[in-house]
Chains A and B, each alone.
Chain A
Amino acid sequence: EAQVTQNPRYLITVTGKKLTVTCSQNMNHEYMSWYRQDPGLGLRQIYYSMNVEVTDKGDVPEGYKVSRKEKRNFPLILESPSPNQTSLYFCASSLYGSSYNSPLHFGNGTRLTVT
C-alpha cells in the first residue's frame, strides 16, 4: 500500500532532549516536506526537500533540522526541543516538487509535547 509513514505517533519529551521524528514513503517520490499544525494557525511548512541531498527552509524552520540522505526517508530533528515546539507534525511527499501533476500525500501525524 502506497503511504507516508511517520513515527512515533505520539511523543512526550522534556526541554533540551534531542529527538528525531522519522518519515518514510514507499512511492519513490522526489519531493518531501514537513509541516506543523497549531490551533488557529493551520499548517505551516517547516522544511522541504526537492530530492536526495537537496533541502530548503520553509516558513518556520527555526529550531529544526532535516536530512535527505535517501529518497524514501526525511527525518525531522529537534536538537534542543522547547515547549513552543509542542505541536502536531505532518510529513508529506509527492512525485515531483510541483503541484501541476503530482498531489501531496500526508502521513498520519506525530503529536509532540515538550514539557
Chain B
Amino acid sequence: AQKVTQAQTEISVVEKEDVTLDCVYETRDTTYYLFWYKQPPSGELVFLIRRNSFDEQNEISGRYSWNFQKSTSSFNFTITASQVVDSAVYFCALSADQGAQKLVFGQGTRLTINP
C-alpha cells in the first residue's frame, strides 16, 4: 500500500524567511511519481511539480526548490524568500501501482506567510 505523510500540519513564518515543507512517502513499487500541489484560499489545486522515482536530481524553479531523497523516502519542498502570496495549503502526493493514475495524498500543510 502507498502512504504519504506530511508531518507539519501548519507552519507560520514571516515574509522573506525560507521555509521547508516535509513529505515522507511509503511504497513497495520501484517505479512511482511524486507530486506537489498548492491549494490557495480560492480552493483550486495548482500543480507544482512531478518527479519520477528514477530522477533524484533536485529541481529549482524560481523561489521554489525540491529535494528528492530515495534513501530517506522524502520529497521536501523549500520556498526561499517567502511571500504573502505563498500562503496556501500544500499537498504532497504519490502515484504508484505500476504507474496507475491514482494519487495518494498527504494530509496537507497549511502555510501562512505573515507580512
Contacts and interface: CB of A to CB of B under 8 A. Distances in A.
Interface of A: 31, 33, 35, 40-45, 48, 58, 88, 90, 94, 96-100, 102-104, 106-109, 111
A111 B102 contact: no
Given A106-B44, A109-B43, A43 B103 contact: yes
B33 interface: yes
B85 interface: no
Given A90-B45, A103-B47, A109-B43, A33 B91 contact: no
B95 interface: yes
B59 to A, nearest CB: 15
A45 to B, nearest CB: 6
Contacts of B9: 40
B102 A45 contact: yes
10 contacts: A33-B101, A35-B103, A35-B105, A40-B107, A42-B6, A42-B91, A42-B105, A43-B93, A107-B44, A109-B45
A97 B43 contact: no
A15 B99 CA distance: 38
B50 interface: yes
Contacts of A41: 107
Nearest to B33: A99
Contact of B101 (A40, A48, A111): A48
A98 B99 contact: yes
B102 A58 contact: yes
